[in-house]
Structure formats: C-alpha cells, structure tokens
Amino acid sequence: MLVTDSVDGITGGTNLAYGVANRFYAKRRLTPGQPAQAREIVDVELTQTYYTNQQQALYDVQYQTAQLAGSVRSHFSPLTLSVRAMPTNEVNATMRADFDSRYHSLRAISASTTYAWSNLVQANVGWSKTGCIPQLTPDCSNLGHDIDAGTTIHTRDNRYGSTYQFNFDITHRGMRNQQITGFYNAQCCGLAFQYQSYSYPGASGITIPANHRFFLSFTLAGLGNFSPFNGALSGVPR
C-alpha cells in the first residue's frame, strides 16, 4: 500500500492517542505600554498511540520512522516527547523526540527555532536526525541527518524583499537544495524572481544528479499576477 499523506491509512482498526501535558505561563507585555497578560511560555507533552490493528503502526504518517526497514507490527507507536518554548514575542522553539517502545532507543529527534523582528526580518533554523537502532536498520550509514535554515527580509511596505533558504545533508556532506527569491512591488506593477538548486548527495540510481531552475513572475494592476504553473513564487507578497 502506498501512503503519501494523512488521508491514507489502514482500514479495519481504531487508534487511541493518550499522554500527559504540562503548560507553563508567565506574564508578558504583548504590546509596549499595555498591561502584561498571562501567556504560555513552555509546553511539554508526552504522547503515544495505541492501535487495535497492529499493521497500522507501520503506516502512521505522524511518525517519520514508521516505515523504517525492519519495523515490525505493533499495537503501540513510538513514545513522543514534544517541547515548545516561546520565551519572547519574537522567538519560539520546538523540539520533538520519538523513542522506540520495543527497543527503548531513540528513533528520531528534531529541533527548530524561529525569530521575527518588527515584521521586517524573519529567520528560522532547523535540525533533524534519525537514530540508529541495529534491530531496525543494520546499516546506519544512510540515515537522515539534516540542517535547514532560511531568512526573509523586506521593507515595511513590502516594496522590496528577498528570501534565502537551504537544506544541507550532514550525513553525506552535501547541499540538498537552495532557493533565492527577490521581489519588487510598485503601484502599477510588480516583479519577482526565484532561483532553485537541487542535488541528491548519497543517492544512487538518480538519472539527473542536480537540477537548477529559474522562475519569473510579474503583476499588472487591475489584471492580476502571472506566475509559473507549478506553484513557484506563490508565497511572494503582491
């Protein structure tokens, strides 16, 4: 069975998710000069899923490692620890770790953080790693280990702006993809461009080892925007 998103699933079973959660609050000023209000600053959750049909454990898309080679049917999903922190209005961070409930080992871990300054600068950094469990994956040399980051800078009126994003494969020491976007908006029209670069370090059987793309989009007042059909540049301000 091919499972591609959360819509697909294994029929003939029921899932029961359970866990514990702790939330911590502190008073923060959401707007300068206004009274402080209680807001959540740390959220910690420990969850697991029970399946009446053991086959479901192999196809649950909530867990990235569900289909690891060597995975066996089980009534229980990995044990998931999730932590979210929002110390200030500008910064937030998340961490997630999946622990194998059968072999009591780390299956996967990821962490990310974002920063926003005055709605003019946004930056994000993420890191993820798949744990090595010999019983599931005897060869751990190709397990995922990645870092991704991106930043967006634009003027207050969104007239000028630029975005840069990348994903780096730490396991094979190569850049997976890079993306550079720039835009200019005037009262009568607008122009945007995007350059994308893809490569596949460590992959075998790939006919095209690298892929470079360039997209251009423009906007005319009263007529709308003209963009690539594949959805590129869809997030650029108009």
Question: What is the domain partition of the chain in residue ranges?
Answer: 15-226
Residue 162 has a CB neighbour count (10 Å cut-off) of 12
Q: Which residues pair with 125 in a beta bridge?
A: 113, 149
Residue 102 has a CB neighbour count (10 Å cut-off) of 14
What does the pLDDT read at residue 2?
A: 43
Q: What confidence tier does 66 reach under pLDDT thresholds 50, 70, 90?
A: low
Dihedral sign for Cα 10, 11, 16, 21, please.
positive
185-196 pLDDT, tens digit each: 888 888 889 999
Most confident of 35-44, 144-153, 220-229: 144-153
> Who contacts 54 (Cβ-Cβ below 8 Å, separation ≥6)?
73, 74, 75
What does the pLDDT read at residue 69?
A: 54
> Who contacts 75 (Cβ-Cβ below 8 Å, separation ≥6)?
50, 51, 52, 54, 57
pTM of the model: 0.79
CB 145 within 8 A of CB 128: yes
Q: Which of 92, 37, 12, 99 is nearest to 63 (CA)?
A: 99
Q: What is the mean pLDDT of residues 88-107?
A: 91
Most confident of 95-104, 106-115, 126-135, 200-209: 106-115
What does the pLDDT read at residue 98?
A: 93
Q: What confidence tier does 202 reach under pLDDT thresholds 50, 70, 90?
A: low
Residue 114 has a CB neighbour count (10 Å cut-off) of 15
Phi, psi of 170 (to 5 degrees): -70, -35
Q: What is the mean pLDDT of residues 61-90?
A: 82
Q: Taking 90 as the threshold, does the pLDDT of residue 59 lie above it?
A: no
Q: Taking 90 as the threshold, does the pLDDT of residue 228 lie above it?
A: no
Residue at 183: amino acid letter: F
User: pLDDT higher for 169 or 34?
Assistant: 169
What does the pLDDT read at residue 121?
A: 94
CA angle 64, 206, 216 (to 5 degrees): 85
Q: What is the mean pLDDT of residues 41-50?
A: 95
